[in-house]
């Protein structure tokens, strides 16, 4: 048995094709959605993430702006940047790339973003609307997971779902979205007792703990759908040999490069699960796709008197 691989790249391309039509309609009405990215300091991973978001914006024909305050920026200085973006008419979406430096009050910064431009879905207003079942903008990674499940025709209603992780960015909104889709949801975390036994009861597993290859085959009921949100870079040879013991090509690639990306799900799970997202190429592309979708919706809603119906009604 080998799991069906749920390609995030393929689903992203479907969404981009749909967005392309909506963006063209907006452009015909004189509207060019604009996304502003705020990248503080020189964190290499953050720079890659923001670059990928800007590239996607430009590929789709969205206007993109990037602001790069120094790593020494204060909370007050960064608040001024956000407040300026809130006022700009050419900016429909604002993303503040996390993590922020230790001296910056990240919650204060995220709460300063205009909720109508909060395309990351982190503002308390948007979180509250999600909890109330009246979502405006939903955090991009959980929203992307829902797109994978729906477009792959994975049954959610009535399913037992386990979410591994309780972060504000992924775990909590993921659990709420699954509940709204009528799954029975269990949220697990570092204090959960008998973790493999709890996870093994699930029809759908969403792994978002940030621990490389933590979810081994013993966690998974045969035939379950496994969504791997984790992205972990490993450089330790002994870890690579253990994780890729049954995947000689991936081990050879690690030895050639000295590094590899792995998810929170052990590669051996492919022989137990019924469906599985890969890392890379699974959830990651959908996170960016949903950011693009949120930006298009933000542009439509901010100009709702002259917006095409298709863009205004996108869920």
Residues annotated as part of the active site: 53, 97, 120
User: SS3 letters for the chain?
Assistant: CCCEECCHHHHHHHHHHHHHHHHHHHHHCCCCCEEEEECCCCCHHHHHHHHHHHHHHHHHCCEEEEECCCCCCCHHHHHHHHHHHHHCCCCCEEEECCCCCCCCCHHHHHHHCCHHHCCCCCCHHHHHHHHCCCCCCCCHHHHHHHHHHHHCCCCCCCCEEEEECCCCCCHHHHHHHHHHCCCEEEEECCCCCCHHHHHCCCCEEEECCCCCCCECHHHCCCCCEEEECCCEEECCHHHHHHHCCCCHHHHHHHHHHCCEEECCECHHHHHCCCEECCCCCCHHHHHHHHHHHHHHHHHHHHCCCCCCHHHHCCC
Are 287 and 25 contacting, i.e. CB atoms less than 8 angstroms apart? no
Q: Which two tokens stand for residue 248?
A: 């000689």
């Amino acid at each position: 048995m080998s799991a069906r691989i749920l390609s995030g790249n393929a689903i992203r391309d479907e969404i981009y094709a749909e967005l392309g039509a909506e963006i063209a309609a907006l452009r015909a009405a004189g509207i060019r959605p604009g996304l502003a990215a705020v990248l503080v300091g020189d964190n290499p991973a953050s720079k890659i993430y923001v670059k990928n978001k800007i590239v996607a914006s430009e590929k789709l024909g969205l206007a993109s702006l990037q602001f790069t305050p120094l790593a020494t920026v204060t909370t007050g200085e960064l608040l001024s940047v956000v407040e300026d973006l809130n006022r700009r008419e050419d900016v429909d979406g604002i993303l503040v790339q996390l993590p922020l430096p230790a001296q910056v009050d990240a919650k204060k910064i995220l709460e300063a973003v205009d909720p109508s431009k909060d395309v990351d879905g982190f503002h308390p207003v948007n979180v509250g609307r999600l909890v109330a079942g009246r979502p405006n903008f939903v955090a991009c990674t959980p929203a992307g997971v829902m797109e994978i499940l729906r477009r792959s025709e994975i049954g959610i209603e009535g399913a037992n779902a386990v979410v591994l992780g309780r972060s504000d960015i992924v775990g909590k909104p993921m659990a709420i979205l699954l509940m709204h889709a009528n799954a029975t949801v269990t949220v697990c975390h570092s204090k959960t007792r008998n973790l493999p036994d709890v996870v093994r009861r699930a029809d759908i597993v969403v792994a978002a703990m940030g621990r490389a290859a933590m979810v081994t085959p013993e966690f998974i009921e045969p035939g379950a759908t496994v969504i791997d949100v984790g992205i972990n870079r490993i450089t330790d040879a002994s870890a690579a040999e253990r994780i890729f013991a049954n995947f000689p090509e991936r081990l050879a690639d690690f030895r050639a490069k000295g590094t590899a990306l792995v998810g929170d799900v052990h590669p051996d799970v492919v022989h137990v699960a019924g469906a599985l997202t890969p890392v890379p190429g699974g959830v990651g592309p959908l996170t960016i796709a949903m950011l693009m979708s949120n930006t298009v919706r933000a542009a439509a809603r901010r100009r709702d008197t002259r917006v095409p119906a298709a863009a205004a009604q996108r869920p």
